[in-house]
Chains A and B, each alone.
Chain A
Amino acid sequence: MNVKRAGSRRLAVVVATSAAALTLAACGGESAAEDQTAGAGAGSELSGSVAGSGASSQEAAMQGWIAGFMDQNPDVDVTYDPTGSGTGREQFLNGTVLFAGTDATLDEEELAAGVDRCFGGEVVELPLYISPIAVVYNLPEVDAEHLNLDPETIAGIFMGEITSWDDPAIAAANPGVELPDLPVIPVNRSDDSGTTENFTAYLSEAAGDVWTHGEVETWPIPGTQSGAQTSGMIDVVSGAEGAIGYADASRAGDLGTVAVGVGEEYVPFSPEAAAAVVDASPEGEDASDLRLTVDLARDTTEAGTYPIVLISYSVACSQYDDPADAANVKALLEYVASPEGQERASRPDVAGSAPISEDLRARVQSALDRITVAG
């Protein structure tokens, strides 16, 4: 009887001690992080917290930007929750977050709601994240750095018309490369996605007579292999030889990537090539000097441009009621748009995005200068 009592008492002590230890470790972790950032960024007067949410495509870049910004401004606590573009816009419009990341620009209804949310001011939309979408494939036996594919061939593959890797259309673009006799397994995103939207927009603009489904967020062809979110897509393509899919280029990992046919040449993805296509494109329909939306020219034939690109916007208010909010959001977006910020996001281990051009930066800065306090 006494031995049992002692045994259960010991167990209780062990459990209590480990619970206490875990709690203390959690507290300790926070202060350690604070110590690390306390030294750098002296002289910044900004303080407070900035919450943002939205597109998961921006997540890796956002983490890099937050780290860099908090280095310079240690008293500001920035968080970004990759809930998805739709949820991000919703949370921004109902005031839960101060800024949002979104792959799709706000529509008329949302812009009108935005004026209410921004205390009478307009919504600011800035294209600060330009990311190439890579067409990834799983062919470990193929002995080429990038497989060359024309837009019509890519469209044919994803329409299900080209069913084998040694098809003449693929062989014609890749002379000298030995292609295996494997079935082509096209993989798409199972969830509604800005990546799908941009990819299908490219297919319908560059190969509209082969790809007949237009620009859609939901994959229109039933009975295909698919994965949820970018990680799911990569998992599925990695899971079978002969699979081909499309995903944010920074997450391609070990999978092979396609060099896309543009005009007469084949262009593999790179930050410079992605930035080139954005510069070569006209501005969007509802653009203003606060809303720098871009209408991408995906069927461009200009040399050295990579046309499959995703632009993700940062959405903020031009007026905030709290002066700290206005100062913090303005400083954060200024850092994001700055050369250091864009360079940080372009590093391969951060997000591999394309830095925005100087021209675009100047227009972004003049929009940011108009972020003020309401009233």
Chain B
Amino acid sequence: MATAAPTPSTSGRTSVVRAGRSPGKLGNRIFAGISSGAGIIILVVLAAVALFLLYRAWPALTASREQLAEVGFMQGKGMWAYVAPLLFGTVLSSVIALTVAVPLSIGIALFISHYAPRRLAQGLGYLVDLLAAIPSVIFGLWGIQWLQPTLDPLFRWLTDRLGWIPLFADYQAPARNIMTAGLVLAIMVLPIITATIREVFLQTPRLHEEASLALGATRWEMIRQAVLPFGRSGVISAAMLGMGRALGETMAVLMVLSPGYLINFYLLKPGQHQSIAANIAAQLPEASGMGVDVLIATGLILFVLTFGVNLFARWVIARRAEFSGAN
């Protein structure tokens, strides 16, 4: 970028800066090289992962029914019949997690950005970020030891009173159903979504907020008029970020859920659903040969799903590009 151009000084004399002798040019080149290198490495790693998945999954995707019949855990199903319930379980647990986490996150972010006193807001923000530091195994243990016994009376009541609605039918202790898994996932994605939404809300133009207040709006009306519309695409991108984490979460779901391979909406019944990542973690230790290829094929499908979700999120944000603080 630096060229040998005459640079006029304030006293009127010009001084020529010779190419190659200007200080910082070497540093400039090195830094440009390092940052493009880093960008290229990321692309290369992504491509390598995708190629690895495709390469190992290919035998399973092109296998005949007889070859798949040798794989014990597939129970005689074809590839797509095996993956469909897993895909359904993954999406269902993530949807439950988002349904619980997003409203909660919006509330926490609004409280931190607009309602709380400064000191409290900083402390609360720090505490929520701390939740993100907890490993997923710990969440799994917490789910088994504390959440399941705590939810047991609630679920029992739901089945006893509202059991005629299929959503709440057939609860059985311990609470190892997709609902509990969704709730644990909700706690896990809460910090990511809250942190992102909080940043977006803090970026609302002060002018808009003050204009709204000047027109006589209450604080809640100001938020509805100025903050929420501005932050809408940011909320969506935060939700998609959280969904990405929830889709791939393995250990917590593995420890908290009694799996099954069915497609239904019995949220409280154990042994109905399973997520792709938890299924891989459960079956891989004892799998060999074609079984490993089948599991990697399910991993490839999860990869494609997460990719698709992120693409959709980017498209939604791009539609409102002029308002987006994220880009």
Contacts and interface: CB of A to CB of B under 8 A. Distances in A.
A56 B285 CA distance: 9
Contact of B286 (A217, A220, A222, A242): A217
B60 interface: no
Interface residues of A, number: 35
B324 interface: no
A232 B255 CA distance: 7
Given A90-B288, A228-B255, A239-B174, A218 B261 contact: no
B261 A236 contact: no
Given A228-B254, A239-B148, A86 B271 contact: no
A87 B144 CA distance: 28
B260 A223 contact: yes
Contacts of B260: 222-223
A185 B173 CA distance: 8
A225 B271 contact: yes
Given A84-B285, A236-B258, A240-B173, A222 B271 contact: yes
A236 to B, nearest CB: 6
A216 B73 CA distance: 10
A271 B33 CA distance: 67
B229 interface: no
A174 interface: no
Interface stretch (A127-135, A187-195, A277-285): A187-195
B262 interface: yes
B149 interface: yes
B271 A85 contact: no
Given A225-B172, A226-B258, A218 B73 contact: yes
Interface residues of B, number: 31
State the majority secondary structure of interface residues on B.
loop
Nearest to B74: A218
Given A217-B286, A236-B258, A226 B271 contact: yes
B255 A85 contact: no
B317 to A, nearest CB: 35
B207 to A, nearest CB: 31
B173 A86 contact: no
Contacts of B284: 84, 87
A192 B286 contact: yes
Given A90-B289, A222-B262, A243-B174, 18 more contacts: A89-B288, A192-B72, A192-B73, A217-B73, A217-B286, A223-B269, A224-B270, A225-B172, A225-B176, A225-B270, A228-B255, A228-B282, A232-B254, A235-B255, A236-B176, A239-B144, A240-B173, A241-B173
18 contacts: A83-B285, A87-B286, A90-B289, A191-B285, A193-B286, A194-B286, A216-B72, A218-B73, A222-B260, A223-B269, A225-B176, A225-B258, A225-B271, A226-B271, A228-B282, A236-B176, A239-B173, A240-B174
Interface of A: 56, 83-87, 89-90, 183, 185, 190-194, 216-218, 220, 222-229, 232, 235-236, 239-243
